[in-house]
C-alpha cells in the first residue's frame, strides 16, 4: 500500500503564493481625455465655432439630424489641425485622424411615437381601411404565393445585390406563372 506524499499533506505552504492564473481582474484601459464640445466656443447666432487653439472650424451642415436631434456640424481644416500643438488633446487617435469634427445639438425633431402607432392611426381612418382592403386584394396574394408555393421563406444568398437578384427572379417566375395560367401560354 502506498503512502500519501508528505509535500502535499497540508495547504498552508501554498496559500501565501499568488496564483497568476487566478487573477481575474482586467487590465485598466487607458482613457484618453480629449476636448469635448463644451471646450469649443459655439455661437448659434453667427453659426460659428472656434476650437480651443483659436482657429475657426468650417460648418458642414445646419440641419443635421442624428437620432432625432437637430444640430450643426463643424469640421476643422487639414491646414489648421495638422500642425496644431493641441492635437493630442483634441483627437482620440491623432496618428490616424486628420481633422476634428464637433456637433452642437439644439432640439429634437418630431414626436416620440413609434412607427407601429403611426400606422395604426392611419389604418383606423375610413380611407385607411379602404386602402388596406385594396392592398389585401392585390398585394398580399402575391407575397402569399411566393412564400407558400414558391417556398421563399428567407433569402438564401448574402449581400444586397444578390438578394435583389434572387427577389427579381422569384417575381419573374410569379409573373410567368400568371401569364401561363391566364391563357398566354404558347
Task: For the chain, 186 residues long, give each residue's pLDDT as a single digit of tens.
Answer: 566 777 666 666 666 666 667 667 777 777 778 999 999 999 989 999 999 999 999 999 767 777 777 889 999 999 999 999 999 999 999 999 999 999 998 877 665 567 788 888 899 999 999 998 998 888 889 999 999 999 998 999 999 999 999 999 999 999 999 999 888 776
Q: How confident is the model at residue 127, as a pLDDT? A: 94
Q: Please report the DSSP string for the chain in residue order.
A: -PPPPGGGS-SHHHHSS--TTT--PPPPP-------GGGSEEETTTTEEE-TTSPBPEEEEEEEEETTEEEEEEE--HHHHTT-TTHHHH-SSTTT--S-EEEEEEEE-S-S--HHHHHHHHHTSHHHHHHHHHHHHHTHHHHHIIIIIS--SS--S-SHHHHHHHHHHHHHHHHHHHHHHTT---
Where in the chain are the domains?
Answer: 37-108, 113-143, 154-186
pLDDT recorded at residue 9: 67
Residue 26 pLDDT: 76
Q: Is the pTM of this model over 0.95?
A: no
Amino acid at each position: 500500500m502506498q503512502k500519501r506524499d508528505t509535500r502535499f499533506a497540508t495547504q498552508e505552504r501554498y496559500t501565501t503564493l499568488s496564483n497568476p492564473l487566478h487573477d481575474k481582474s482586467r487590465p485598466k484601459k487607458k482613457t484618453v481625455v480629449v476636448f469635448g464640445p463644451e471646450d469649443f466656443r459655439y455661437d448659434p447666432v453667427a453659426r460659428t465655432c472656434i476650437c480651443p487653439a483659436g482657429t475657426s472650424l468650417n460648418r458642414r451642415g445646419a440641419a443635421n439630424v442624428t437620432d432625432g436631434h437637430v444640430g450643426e456640424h463643424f469640421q476643422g481644416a487639414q491646414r489648421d489641425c495638422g500642425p496644431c500643438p493641441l492635437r493630442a488633446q483634441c483627437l482620440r487617435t491623432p496618428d490616424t485622424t486628420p481633422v476634428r469634427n464637433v456637433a452642437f445639438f439644439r432640439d429634437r425633431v418630431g414626436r416620440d411615437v413609434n412607427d407601429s402607432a403611426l400606422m395604426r392611426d392611419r389604418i383606423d381612418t375610413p380611407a385607411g381601411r379602404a386602402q388596406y382592403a385594396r392592398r389585401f386584394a392585390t398585394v398580399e396574394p402575391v407575397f402569399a404565393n411566393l412564400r407558400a408555393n414558391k417556398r421563399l421563406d428567407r433569402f438564401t444568398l448574402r449581400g444586397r445585390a444578390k438578394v435583389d437578384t434572387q427577389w427579381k427572379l422569384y417575381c419573374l417566375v410569379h409573373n410567368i406563372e400568371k401569364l401561363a395560367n391566364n391563357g398566354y401560354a404558347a
